[in-house]
Structure 1
Amino acid sequence: MFNYSVTQWIFGDESLEDSLKRLQKYGYQGVELAGEPDSIDIDSTKKLLRKYDLACSSICGIFNPERDLSSSDASIRKNGIEYVKKCINLAKSLHASTVIVVPTFVGKVNPDTNVTEEWQNAISSVKEVGLYAKDNDITIVIEALNRYETYLVSNLTLALKFVEEADVESVKMMADLFHMSIEERDMIKILSKISRHLAHVHIADNTREAAGLGQTDFKPVISFLKDINYNGYITMEFLPAVSNPYLASELHGESNIFDDFTRQSIQHMKKIA
């Protein structure tokens, strides 16, 4: 019923082929790749995707301080905009439908100037990349993080306000169950509120481990997605206990842990579905 993928950069520094072997073994349909266009070989990536019969579900934008779409520094905003455009080109080349965008850099918990100015900076940046995405038939999804990872769009109510102000057809929203477990009082109520814009879903338990290892009740969420005929990917994004999620891409992981979490996630979600 649903298509499942995994964010590949959570597997640390292992090769893409090793990750794809794992995803094929456990019955996934896709993989979400890190948004690092300058380091991805398009042709070899396409060959590997064909070899393991997997699709590129999405591109996960990696937003560091040099890619801050809300920055008061025009040169940083320009760099961020050009970066997202490269991610859109990458998505198009790999036949992915979706690029994830965070309006600030991850870990920016205070504005450089003030919230009003930086909100407008981010809106202007996303309008520009949204129009570029529309021209390339790609959907941008705005990701709300949580208060410990961003100050600007830190819950889905703010993300909805952001998307409606951006007002570009190709700019939609995603729901991340880990962030929601921190910020949302009622998951179904907020999902109902944003449902017309919902185009992507990230799954991790409240501990940020594989689904089913923590306290999150995924049953109402899956029932809701069924009821609205959600047809986007359900993407697993379990992570180690690190303060900055991007540190996961630098870790030397144990393949048996990756196997356990990858299997656990899809089996738990399929059992519910």
Structure 2
Amino acid sequence: MIAACSVAGSDSGGGAGIQADLKTFLALEVWGLTVVTAVTAQNTREVRGTWVLPPEAVRAQIAAVADDFSIGAWKTGMLGNAPVIRAVAETLPEGAALVIDPVMVSTSGHRLLAEDAVRDLVELLVPRAAVVTPNLPEAEALAGMSVATVEEMAEAGRRILDLGARAVVVKGGHLSGGAAIDLLVDRDGTASLSGERYPYAVHGSGCCFSAALAAHLARGMPARRAFAAARAFIDEAIREAAGGPGPLRIVNPGGAFVRRPGNNLP
């Protein structure tokens, strides 16, 4: 059984976080495991409240799944605070691929990672990452620079690489105008993928992308191939979302999918 585990917050709206990760794992035919770090009250438009779980609850969940499954990849999303980050770092098994989606602030502006926890993320988890997947604001926070161009994306990626990660995907969805460009930076250089920029907002695209990346790594893909496969997956999910704001439509290679709320499954 190929398994991947999401260490992240619960999204009551089902469009991001643990729920989106599980849908992505299912679509890519990977057994999805979860470690819940926080509970949120949110929908596709806003986060109304967050409650971070005690670190001992996070440790216990990681230990439980690690004792019973062979986990090919882990991904982290919303971690909430420094004690949870330390709990994850202390309990996470060595060896499996780790994808870090450094969730800091929701699209609606709600803080999802305490400001004093960024240092712990950088020192304790980033050096263990197979891939880190920041959006532009997250890349700015991790790299300590402003990022507004593709060239600055590459420089930010190199700076994050210097923190110990084996690869970095800087997501360019926040760049103004033009195509939507994502840039992978690793020890061999850079690789970019671009696609259409759609004139509507979607909810959970960052979670789904990093979950897809983890699923492909769990299947044994090298990081560059996994990046291309995950980008193709999220492009289709955004294209099929049929406007927004709203959740993605998550599609698997065989054509099965989860439609947006209100639509009937075929």
Give TM-score, length-normalised by structure 2: 0.42
- Structure having the higher strand fraction is 2
